[in-house]
Each structure stands twice: as C-alpha cells, then as structure tokens.
A and B are shown apart, each in its own frame.
Chain A
Amino acid sequence: MRLHTLTAGAFALALTAGAALPVQAEDSVYIQLATYRTGAFAGSGIPVANGMFDYLTMLNERDGGINGVKITLEECETGYDTQKGVECYEQAKSKGTLVFNPYSTGITLQVIPKASVDKIPVLSMAYGLSAAADGNTFPWVFNPPLTYWDGASGIIKYIGEQEGGMDKLAGKKIGYIFLDAGYGREAIPLLESMAAEYGFEMVQYPVPGKEMQNQASQWLNVRRDKPDYMVMWGWGAMNPTAVKEATKIRYPMDKFIGVWWSGGEDDARAGGMDAKGYKTLNFNGVGADYPAIQDIKKYVVDAGKSQVEPAKLGENLYNRGVMNAVLMAEAIRVAQEKTGKTVINSEDMRLGLENLNIDEARLEAIGLTGFMAPMKTSCEAHSGHHAMYVQQWNGEAWEKASDWFEPMTDKVKPLLAAAAEEYKTSNAPWPARTEPCAN
C-alpha cells in the first residue's frame, strides 16, 4: 500500500514537473517572450508581442524552425511592472531560455547585473541602458540597432537640418516631454550635453506614470513656454494623450517629434486629422508588403495562430516586434554556424548576438528588403549606431519623411564609453569581460 502510494506520488510529481516545463523535443530551443498584454502599457505592448510571436511562429510553420530546430515560445506577462519582469526573468532562467527580452527599461536595468552571472543574454532592442552598447563592459547585454542616446542625437540632428544647420540651434528652445521613469529619463544626459554644446535651451516636462492620461498641466506649460520643438519619450497610454493634448493647444504638429516608441498608429490616430504632421523616429519598415510579413499572414494569421487583428498586420509596432524576432532568429542562425551545433544554449546565443551581420543580401534572403538598415554587431559594439529615419503622420498612416540617416556617433560614442565606465565604478566590483571574442 505504502509502495503503491509512493509510486503514485512519484508518478504525479513527474507529471506535474513535465507540465511545468515547456515541451522541448530534442530539436527545439526555448525562448521566453516577456510581454505585456494587460495594464496601462498594453496599447504599446500588444502589437510588439504579436509581432515577435508571429515571426518566430512563421519560421516554425514555414521552415520547421531554424535549420531544423523548432523554437518553443512562451509568453510571460510583466504588465510593464519591474518586479513582475524580474520574476519572468527568473522563470525564463529556470526554463533555459536562449535570450531574455525585457521590453522595459526598468526591467532591463534590474536584470543587467544578473545576466552575466546567469549567462543569459539580454536583448533590449533600441531601449534599456544606453551604456550597454559597450560590449567590453556589458558582454551579456545587447541593444541594437540604436541606443536612446543615438535616438536623441538623431532628433537633434534632424531639428538642426530643419533649421538649416546645427549652428542655428543656438538660442532655440526644445521641450522634452517624457514618461517620468527609467525609460523617459534615459535620454536626458545626452540632451543636456547637446544643449550645452549647441546652445539651445532644453525644457523638461515630466509626466508621472499615474498622470499619463491627465497631461493638461504639462501641455499648458508647453503653451506658455512656446518651445520651438517638442521631443517626446512616451510609451503606452502616454502617447495618444500627448498627441491629443498637443492638438488641443494647437501646437504645430510638424515640430513635435517622438522617439521610435511613440510612433504607434493608435498613438497618432487618437489626435484625429488634427494630428496630421506629427513625426517620430523609426528604424523599421511599416506596412505588410514585405514577403516575410506576407508569409506571416499566410502561415500564422490566416491559419488562426496569431492574436493580431488582421487589419493591424504590418502596423509600426507590430513590425517592431517582427524586427526584434528577426534579430533573435538571425542570432540563432549565426550561433549555429559558429558552434556547429543545431540546438544551441544561451551562451551560444550570446555569441550569435555578438556576430550579427544582417546586410542587404541577408535582408533579401529573409524577405525583408528595405525593412531595416543593414546592421552589424561586434564584441565591442553591441548596439552599432545604425541608421534611422523620420516618419510623419498624414492623418491616416505613417509616411517616410526623411532618408535613412546616421546618429551623431562621434558625439554619442565617447559619452557611452564614459557612462559605461561610470556604471562599472558605481557597481564595483563589476566583473571584467572573460568571454572570448569570436568576431
């Protein structure tokens, strides 16, 4: 009787353990996607989550995975909450994820010190800690294709061009409205440095997380201060509210420029036709006309395996998620080539992320010609200061309003190096890089 009970108990335990772990066949790898489909930031989180999930699912459905290795996907809901995000990271670690995508600067900052200990690469695509671009200091963190500081420098460069030269910035007033959190504050040091160098005045308008949908005061201040340009670092419910408030005070929308995370269709749509002219940075293509996106439609959306509304396929933040998934898929492919293994682990994945080389030919091969600027990472450069462009809302959709252009790398690079040094000092003893360089 006792033996029988023990056997039954052991069997039940085995079943439970089996159920708790993702099903991984021998030819599969596991990736956890930390996403947020609930809460105040869901408006931005949902399309990104759909894009990531659908591209990797498409690879599974169309190609049987990457080089025959299927990708087992699992989402972990963070609600954009740092504490929940760290719990997701711990869960991802226990399940052997190849890579961790925090999708929140707050979560990224928390997991950076853990990544090198746990040997899990953190991919914070164009968000997170800007200084993490320094691969020698942060071998386990990757933020391609651009850092926030690249973005901030890009906006200042673009404004300079609009004004007829960087020297024309002297005496101008540039307002900075931002989510008063790690994300929004990240660009401030670069903007302050640029303000000092080019002689413009930077006026800050912080928006507390609790007041995202109550920005009347910030925009009244904008009306009083009359900045020549407004720059926004918004996310979630902050974006559509800011666009609406800008139209309410009749701010010239073509002088209002958001970072790439403030450029969702729903963000601009909220302002109706009055939002026409609103601009944001971007680094991925918009629309569903790319062969890879069409394959997503065929193999995932039409097959009922996606959560995206068909009309939203190809929207900006959806495609942003696709690009994030492309980086992961390409890193897996590179890691497979470099190690000679098909089923790689997270240490191999780090190698792949450090040796990305997505050139025009590769973009064409994966059905994404023109979708993004060619990009490359190396042991030193985990971000790469790649090209971006400005898009403009025409009242119904985004239109390209500039060519691809580089950030002010010469200005940003030394600041990044100094910030990385500062991070090392304030987090001493910060481990020295021991991972060999395989570029």
Chain B
Amino acid sequence: MDILYSVLIDPFVQMADMPDFLLQVLWEGFVAGVLYALIALGFVLIYKASGVFNFAQGIMVVFAALTLVGLHEKGVPAYLALILTIGVMGILALTVERFVMRPLVNQPDIILLMSTIGLTYFLVGFGEFVFGGEPKQMITSQLGLPTGSSAIEIGDGGLLILQHIDIAAAVIAIIMVAVLAVFFNKTRIGRALRAVADDHQAALSVGISLNQIWAIVWFAAGIVALTTGIMWGARSDVSFALEIIAFKALPVLILGGFTSIPGAIVGGLIIGIGEKIGEIYWGPLVGGGIESWLAYMIALIFLLFRPQGLFGERIIERV
C-alpha cells in the first residue's frame, strides 16, 4: 500500500505542495529538451537527405565548439572566430561529401554508418591534436550572450530561477528551427533537398545534384552542431565529455521519427521534460540516477503505439 502511495499519489502531492519547484523542473526540462532537439535536428537533416545515421553528430558538436573557443584563445576576436568556425564547418562538410559520402554512394546503409563512426574517431583525434584535451570555457559573454540569472517570486516565498543563457538558448533554437523551416519549404535548394529525401533517383532525373545537396545538409548540420556546442558549452564547459550528451538525441529520434524536423522538436521537449519530471519525482524511489535510461523507456513506450515515431512517415508495404 505504501508503495502504491509513493508511486501514484506522493509525487503529485509534492508537485502541488511546491508549485515553484515544479515550474523550475518544467523549465529545466524545457531547456534540456530544446538542446536535445537541436542535437536531434542535426541527425534528422543528414538522415533526410542521405539516409545516413550520422554517428559523428555528437563529436561535431564538440569539434565546432572547440574550434570556436580554440580560435579565440589564439587571439582571434569572438565574432571573427565565430565566422571562421562556420567556415571550418563548411570545409568539413565539403570534405565529408568529397571523401566519405561520394566514394560510398550506393553502398549499403551499414557501410555509410560505419564511415560516420570512422569520421567520429578521426574528429576526436584531430580535435585533440589541434586543441588539446583540456576542457575550455565557452566564450559566452564575448559572443554577446547573456549571463547571470533572474528570479521570479511565485506564491509564498517560492522562486523560479531563470538563467539568462537558457532563455537565450530557447530563443536561438526557435529562430534556428524557423530559419530551417523557411529554408526547406521556401527556397529552391530546400525543395531540392526534400526531393532528394523523397526519392534519390527521381531527384537525379530532374537534374538535382546529390553531391551539392549532401554538402549543404552536412554544412547545415555543422551549423546546428555549433549552436548546440555554444549553448551546452555555456552550461558546463567545452570538453570531449560533451560528445556523450549527443546520444541523448537517440531517444528523441526514436520518438520524433528520423525524418521529421517537427518530430525532433516535439520529441526533444517530451524527452527533456519527461526525464526531469521522472528523475525528480519518481527517481528517489529507486535511489535516483534513472534519467540516463528513462528517456529510452519513454521512447519505447511511444514506439509501442507509433512504431514510425510521432511524426515519422508511416511505412506501408504491399505484400
């Protein structure tokens, strides 16, 4: 009976007792969800255009952030370092398209996946070689991003603490998604990309260059990685440990579908908020630390009802 109370009643009593704390948990979950969504977006962009699950997306986050901070450490002004980093991500996109994707065109998906695993280890080694293994602090204020926090009083002495960088992360993520949506829906390249995503051969037959499209999506994924790296780096620091965070995007992808940009956003928010609520209110029942697997549990439960994910395309095959 006590167990039932602890599982079914007590967490909700706690939520009602401390509404300010509940709001804080929801806010933290929202911010984490936005960042997960950004990482997942990087995966979706590449998967949509090439059917490749880009294992290297996590290390691209680290590599982009390290390049930015590393250039600044070498005396490059922050905004110039940002522009140069965007350039580096562009060069990386072109290099990947030319030396990884193009030679492997028409190879089975598993080969392409393996190539992105190889790319991951290359970027780890290359990043450590160029920038060293020591963690670096994100140049948050130099980039004009806000620091500090504001507290909002709620109820009787309750506090909702909002970190300014988290607010900025949410705003930037929303802007980025809007820009990507316009890019994919309203521009010629965006329509070409959607055509490639629908059918490679049909796209080729109407003169769309696969190579060009691949380079563009890898570049877009690089920009998303840079944004994620800046935001997450500002929350802790820029180190190779960040790479692991990227795998938080996996349950988001399972939930939202591998091909859906809205799916990445909604999936990210569900996972972000769900894992925080779960860890805070139900975690203590089992000694805590459930966050790392709870996200997968949430995704698996959704999968039982929608195997294609929330927004994924339903696959209907005739027998």
Q: When each residue 217-228 of chain A gets 1 if its CB lies under 8 Å from chain B and 0 otherwise, what string results?
A: 110110110000
Q: When each residue 231-262 of chain B gets 1 if its CB lies under 8 Å from chain A and 0 otherwise, what string results?
A: 01001110111101101100000000000000
Within the complex, the shortest CB–CB distance from A112 to chain B, in Å, comes to: 27
CB-CB nearest in chain A for B244: A210
A40 to B239, CA, bound (A): 7
Given A45, A210, A249, A269, which contacts B292 in the complex, CB threshold below 8 Å?
A210
Beyond A240-B236, A248-B149, whether A217 also contacts B279 by CB under 8 A is: yes
Q: Which residues of B contact A217 (CB under 8 A)?
A: 28, 275-276, 279-280, 283, 291
A150 to B265, CA, bound (A): 48
Q: Which residues of A contact B28 (CB under 8 A)?
A: 216-217, 220
B21 at interface by CB-CB < 8 Å: yes
Interface residues on B, range: 35 or more
A39 to B25, CA, bound (A): 30
A42 to B128, CA, bound (A): 10
Inter-chain contact A213/B128, CB cutoff 8 Å: no
Inter-chain contact B236/A270, CB cutoff 8 Å: yes
A416 at interface by CB-CB < 8 Å: no
Inter-chain contact A42/B280, CB cutoff 8 Å: no
Q: Which residues of B contact A269 (CB under 8 A)?
A: 137
B289 at interface by CB-CB < 8 Å: yes
Inter-chain contact A249/B161, CB cutoff 8 Å: yes
Given B132, B134, B276, B283, which contacts A216 in the complex, CB threshold below 8 Å?
B276
Q: Which residues of A contact B283 (CB under 8 A)?
A: 217, 221
A216 to B291, CA, bound (A): 11
Beyond A38-B133, A210-B292, A217-B279, whether A224 also contacts B21 by CB under 8 A is: yes
B24 at interface by CB-CB < 8 Å: yes
Inter-chain contact A213/B245, CB cutoff 8 Å: yes
Q: Give B257-297 interface residues, CB cut-off 8 Å to A.
A: 275-276, 279-280, 283-284, 287-289, 291-292
A236 at interface by CB-CB < 8 Å: yes
CB-CB nearest in chain B for A208: B292
Inter-chain contact B276/A42, CB cutoff 8 Å: no
Within the complex, the shortest CB–CB distance from A308 to chain B, in Å, comes to: 11
A7 to B147, CA, bound (A): 70
Within the complex, the shortest CB–CB distance from B201 to chain A, in Å, comes to: 40
Q: Which of A37, A204, A214, A223 has the most CB of B within 10 A?
A: A214
Q: Which residues of B contact A39 (CB under 8 A)?
A: 133, 240-241
A212 at interface by CB-CB < 8 Å: yes
A364 at interface by CB-CB < 8 Å: no
Q: Which residues of B contact A213 (CB under 8 A)?
A: 232, 235-237, 239, 241-242, 244-245
Q: Which residues of A contact B242 (CB under 8 A)?
A: 213
A224 to B158, CA, bound (A): 11
Within the complex, the shortest CB–CB distance from B40 to chain A, in Å, comes to: 15
B112 at interface by CB-CB < 8 Å: no
B163 at interface by CB-CB < 8 Å: yes
Q: When each residue 235-254 of chain A gets 1 if its CB lies under 8 Å from chain B and 0 otherwise, what string results?
A: 01100110010001110000
Given B124, B241, B291, which contacts A212 in the complex, CB threshold below 8 Å?
B241
Given A206, A216, A241, A244, which contacts B289 in the complex, CB threshold below 8 Å?
A206
B208 at interface by CB-CB < 8 Å: no
Which 9 A-B residue pairings sit nearest by Cβ, starting from the closest?
A42-B133, A40-B241, A237-B241, A241-B236, A217-B279, A43-B135, A213-B236, A206-B289, A38-B133
Task: Give 26 A-B contacts (CB < 8 Å), ordered by A residue.
Answer: A36-B133, A37-B132, A39-B241, A40-B240, A40-B244, A42-B134, A42-B240, A43-B237, A206-B287, A210-B292, A213-B232, A214-B32, A217-B280, A217-B283, A223-B24, A236-B239, A237-B135, A237-B236, A237-B239, A244-B235, A244-B236, A248-B161, A248-B163, A250-B161, A266-B134, A270-B236
